[in-house]
Structure 1
Amino acid sequence: MATKIENSSKRADRIIARITTWLAGLLFVALLVWAGVIGWRLFQYEETNDAQVEEYINPINSKVTGYIRKIKYKENQAVKAGDTLVVLDDRDYVLPVAEAEASLANTQAQLEVLGSNVQTSQRTSQASQAQIGAARARLEEQQKEYNRYRQLLADEAVTRQQFERVETALQVARSDYQALKGNYATSLSRVGEVRAQRPVLLAELKRRQVALQKAQLDLSYTIITAPYDGKMGRQTIQEGQLIQAGQPLAYIVNEDAGKWVTANFKETQLRNMHVGQPVKIKTDAYPDQVFNGRIESLSPATGARFSLLPPDNATGNFIKVTQRIPVRIQLTDKSERTVQLAAGMNALVTVEK
């Protein structure tokens, strides 16, 4: 009986030893395969998990100061270019438009009055010119009369009193002629003076037109619209809130500009990378999907050099640290696949050597 128990115990030990040996062998083979795969991937690919999906996220700013009257969007809402997002109280901007319109109308009326004055001055000068012709004719006639009486006086056919009366009439006719010529010159000068006011009024008219356009532009800024197709971010404003010119009101993700991945590779990994190289991308959000891309550009400097306070190795505290170079990767898949990606998602980027 004891011999049977002893034999059974030895047989169980041999089975356990055999199973343990097989398990150890399988584990060893698995470790070899795993090491081989890892080694092959390290030899064949460059990888980094220091990568994120990127999109253009731009602020929407107010160009004028005012109170918010109506908010037309909701958080995470998709919008189209030109959709109204925020409406401001426009009462402070309607009055300047009316004032600018009135000033423009006043300047236009002044131009019309100026044109009428030019016509009146021209008619006055034409009348003066006609009177000059009549005065010249009277002067010539009076000159002939004077010459005749002077000859008669020499022949003692007329009295001195008659001759002096004719001489006085000649002087009066000459004075009238000179006065009319002076009036004509003055009327021409007045026409030139009135015409010289036209460029001044035209410049004023242009200034008034620009002022009206500026007032209308400020009025149009009270309606804030989406600059392009995109998706709105978090809403941080409320109706009735006072906002200042230049203040960010919301953030919009620009869907027209597309998406890309920024992968920060170590400087030791860039040896075989070049623009146009194909890339495989996996994201933590969708680990079962592989997205295709290609290298669009490599940064001209390390990420540390673009930081707010770049490191200075001349300070005496130098410690050699492997630097990373941002690599921009363009997604080449169709938009139906990439639309599910959002800015800021973590990604695993693999580049074949």
Structure 2
Amino acid sequence: MDIKTRIKITDRFITRVTRYIALAVIFFGCIWGIRTLWTYWRYEQTNDAQVQEYINPVIARVGGYLTEVRYEENEIVAKGDTLLIVDNREYIYAQAETTADIDKQYAQLKELEARQYTLAQTAAAAKSQIQGRESKFKQQELEYNRYHKLYEVDAATAQQLEEKRAQLDIDRSDWKSSVENAQAAQASISDIEAQKRVLEKEISRLKQLQNYKDLTVGYTVITAPYRGRMGKRSIDLGQMITPGQVLTYIVNDETPKWIVANFKETQIRNIRLGDEAEIAVDAYPDTQFKGKVISIAPATGSSFSLLPPDNATGNFVKIVQRIPVRIEITAPSDSEELLKAGMNVNVLISKKQKDAK
């Protein structure tokens, strides 16, 4: 067989193989196209979707130097586990100072109560003297009146009348003195009552301050607010922290994960609460996940941004907006362990559910 014959046979073989490959490509392309069109016709879908879960910061409520760090990155912690300990000596000293102030106020209150008791006894004694001295004064007044009448008829001397007048003045003075002593003692008792009320209010204030100091001491021990997994650790022993500083992040394992799928605004008309969703996770292509629509955002994602777009500026360009749809994961049962926050997923929601409804 000459070279030309072999070349012709080879060309025919290549042409045949190329034809088969082209037919195969066309065949599979048609299948892919039909399947894609079928999917677009039957489902609302988006690949702009991620797994979400609550990731909350652990924030310092007091300042100070860290004396202990009891967690590592990615560690699983239980609710109430100690994560960090802040040097609490200055807070304990402030707590003891407040306690001493309360004890001082109680001591002053006891002193006032003792003075009040003494004044009450004085007032009681003065009141008991008033009646006796008043009776003596009235009797002496009658005696003076009798001598005054006797003196008018020359039955008594002027000296006797003067003696009775002097004794009358002395008895009147004693009686008024007893009244004034009783009134002064009663006024002092009222004054002490007012001082006691001031002290009681001050004690109440100091007790509230002591409660705050107790809380402050408790804040030096930072615990896990719930069961979860710790995030990145960026602090160490001896580091100075300030109130309000974010120390680390914790992923909440007590609440279920969910999917946030950002559908186009033109797709929302086919999505309702309770619709079932098919979820394909990029990390687990062989696992089929199921979900259910539990809420639809009241506004587009851009409306919640830090700087919402203003279309009244004169340079408007129409852009299809995205509306977040929250989807609860219903299957498989072990999905909580498989899925991590931030994973990319594809979500499909059947349009036929609306027809059935």
Q: TM-score w.r.t. structure 1 length?
A: 0.90
CA distance, structure 2, for counterparts of residue 309 and residue 144 of structure 1: 100
Which residue is 1:225 aligned to?
223
CA distance, structure 1, for counterparts of residue 241 and residue 333 of structure 2: 37
Unaligned runs of 5+ in 1: none
CA distance, structure 1, for counterparts of residue 333 and residue 221 of structure 2: 32
Deviates more, 1:119-128 or 1:312-321: 312-321
Query: Given the superposition, is the C-alpha separation of residues 40 and 153 from structure 1 closer, same or farther in structure 2, using an over 3 Å criterion?
Result: same
Which residue is 1:158 aligned to?
156
Percent sequence identity over aligned pairs: 43
Structure 1 residues 181-330: aligned runs within 5 Å: 181-330=179-328
Structure 1 residues 41-120: aligned runs within 5 Å: 41-120=39-118
Unaligned runs of 5+ in 2: 352-357
CA deviations on 1:201-231 (whole Å, 9 max, x unpaired) are 1111111112212222211111111111211
CA deviations on 1:229-285 (whole Å, 9 max, x unpaired) are 211101000100001111100001112232111111222222311111100111111
* 1:122 to partner: Cα distance: 1.3
Which residue is 2:343 aligned to?
345
CA distance, structure 2, for counterparts of residue 19 and residue 257 of structure 1: 58
Which residue is 2:172 aligned to?
174
CA distance, structure 2, for counterparts of residue 109 and residue 26 of structure 1: 100
Q: What secondary structure sits across from 1:290 in the alignment?
A: strand
Q: Root-mean-square deviation (CA), in Å?
A: 2.6
Deviates more, 1:114-123 or 1:28-37: 28-37
* 1:141 to partner: Cα distance: 2.6
The amino acid of 2:42's aligned partner reads Q
* 1:53 to partner: Cα distance: 0.4
Query: Given the superposition, is the C-alpha separation of residues 162 and 335 from structure 1 closer, same or farther in structure 2, using an over 3 Å criterion?
Result: farther
Query: Given the superposition, is the C-alpha separation of residues 63 and 24 from structure 1 closer, same or farther in structure 2, using an over 3 Å criterion?
Result: closer
CA distance, structure 2, for counterparts of residue 18 and residue 82 of structure 1: 73
The amino acid of 2:79's aligned partner reads A
Which residue is 1:38 aligned to?
36
Q: TM-score w.r.t. structure 2 length?
A: 0.89
Q: What secondary structure sits across from 1:339 in the alignment?
A: helix
CA distance, structure 2, for counterparts of residue 9 and residue 231 of structure 1: 69
CA distance, structure 2, for counterparts of residue 187 and residue 233 of structure 1: 71
Query: Given the superposition, is the C-alpha separation of residues 82 and 141 from structure 1 closer, same or farther in structure 2, using an over 3 Å criterion?
Result: same
CA deviations on 1:126-159 (whole Å, 9 max, x unpaired) are 1001111111121133223323333443454433
* 1:291 to partner: Cα distance: 1.4
CA distance, structure 1, for counterparts of residue 149 and residue 330 of structure 2: 117
Q: Are 1:139 and 2:137 matched, yes or no?
A: yes
